Amino acid sequence: MDFNLSEDHEILSNTLRRFLSDNTSVEGRNESAFDAPYHSPDLWMALCELGIAGAFVSEDQGGFGGSAQDIAVIFEELGGALCVEPALGTLMAARLLAEAGREDIVEQLIAGEARAALAVYEPELACALTPMATVAAEQGGGWVLTGRKSAIYGAPGARYLVVAAKTGAGIGLFLLEDPQIIAAAMADGGGIGELVLDNTPAERLSDIAGPELEQALDLGRIALCAEAVGAMSSLVDMTVDYLNQRKQFGKALSSFQALQHRVVDMQMELEQCRSILISAVAHYGTPEAPRHVSMAKNLVGRAGRKIAEDSIQLHGGIGMTWEYPGTHFAKRLVMIDHQLGDQSDHLMRIMSGTAA
């Protein structure tokens, strides 16, 4: 048994951590996170130069990484620094494009020359792939798509969209270039989009992509859980620091046992999340993966809310202000639960026993 990171992962994690701490701040993040394009293109380019998009796909598909552990290491660092760059959409789209043999596009993604996002969920679809309403039909030798896609993370500014739609054979994947989207900021910052399709011509990537799609989504879920673990860890540290420094009734808040116990509970939840994430990473690629990924997403959803709420509470009024960086970590933790299926959806998947 060995729970240490490999030397390569240690280096990856340290490099990224140093880069993010030298080059980013929560204030800087917030300046770009709420207005189009909802991130900093310069920072994204710098991250790509550092190789993070390359680490999303395997060597035989043109990248230089691609394991679930690579993804977890990267996203934990992104979460720890509250980085709002569109890594999630790029990750899932890059995986599916690589599967479909579109190395020409994957190359652009790795180099940071273009971005891509994945359009799978719909107004009435939050975590499952059925019943999908968006349909693909053959028309004049090509394909057209009709329906509505929502919750497309990283869509604003993406040149490519990978779109899931129902075909006669199952669920297929299609490619849209320079899509027209409805763009918005997320409540915690970052870009999200919706897409209205009305006989919109698209290029077919594959007819039956159900399993690949589920795998890409599960990897996205692992990424979100790792991001949450990074954010939790930062937020617990900030809470400890604040309680040490803030004085009321003539002594540091950290001297009140009632508050110490609350922080201990936060730390306990964080340790549990780390563990369930390790389990999800270890099972990725096995038939057991969906169940373990759902366990991770469920636990991270519950613990994320608790840590977010307790950290706000223990900071008092300061924890409610926009100016305080911890506030934004707390918001991120709560909103992660809304992405790629929430704690209830994943609880259902665990209970159904199939989770596939």
Partner 1 sequence: MDLEFSADELAFRVSVRAFLTENLPEDIAGKVRASKELTREDYLRWQAILNAQGWLAATWEQEYGGPGWNAVQRHIFAEECALSGAPRMPPFGLAMLGPVLIKYGTEEQKQTLLPRILEGTDWWCQGFSEPGAGSDLASLKARAERDGDDYIVNGQKTWTTLGQYANKIFCLVRTSATAKPQGGISFLLVDLDTPGVEMRPIRLIDGGHEVNEVFFTDARVPVSNLVGEENQGWAIAKYLLTHERTNIAGVGFSMMDMARYRKLAAGITRDGRPLAEHPVFAARAAEIETDLEALRITNLRMLAAAQGGSAGGMGSSILKLKGTQVRQEIQDLYRSALGPHAAPLASDLSENELSVPVEAARAAPAYFLNRKQSIFGGSNEIQRNIVAKEMFRE
Ligand X SMILES: Cc1cc2nc3c(=O)[nH]c(=O)nc-3n(C[C@H](O)[C@H](O)[C@H](O)COP(=O)(O)OP(=O)(O)OC[C@H]3O[C@@H](n4cnc5c(N)ncnc54)[C@H](O)[C@@H]3O)c2cc1C
Give the footprint of partner 1 on this chain (CB under 8 A). Answer: 34, 121, 123-128, 130-131, 148, 150-151, 182, 184-188, 192, 194, 247-250, 256, 258-259, 305, 309, 312-313, 316-317, 319-323, 327, 330-331, 334-335, 337-339, 342, 344-345, 347-348
Q: Is 306 in the site for ligand X (CB under 6 A)?
A: no
User: Nearest approach, Cβ of 309 to ligand X (angstroms)?
Assistant: 11
Tokens 């009632």 locate to 258
Interatomic CA distance for residues 24 and 80, integer angstroms: 11
Query: In this structure, which amino acid lies at residue 356?
Result: A
User: Nearest approach, Cβ of 262 to ligand X (angstroms)?
Assistant: 8
- CA–centroid distance for 192 within its chain: 12
Tokens of 68: 């679930």
User: Nearest approach, Cβ of 41 to partner 1 (angstroms)?
Assistant: 21
Query: In this structure, which amino acid lies at residue 326?
Result: G
User: Nearest approach, Cβ of 244 to ligand X (angstroms)?
Assistant: 12
Interatomic CA distance for residues 63 and 60, integer angstroms: 7
> Which residue of 16, 109, 119, 314 would you call a contact of ligand X, by CB under 6 A?
314
Interatomic CA distance for residues 302 and 297, integer angstroms: 9
Asked whether the beta carbons of 167 and 136 are under 8 A apart, the reply is yes
> Which residue of 183, 256, 272, 350 would you call a contact of ligand X, by CB under 6 A?
256
Site string for ligand X, 263-302 (x = CB under 6 A): ----------------------------------------
Residue with Cβ nearer partner 1 (292 or 331): 331
Max intra-chain CA distance, the chain: 79
Q: Which residue is nearest to ligand X, using beta carbons?
A: 316
Tokens of 348: 């259902």
Give backbone dihedrals phi and psi of 98, rounded to 5 degrees, phi first: -65, -45
Query: In this structure, which amino acid lies at residue 65?
Result: G
Give the residues lining the site for ligand X (CB under 6 A).
246, 248-249, 253, 256, 258-259, 313-314, 316-317, 320
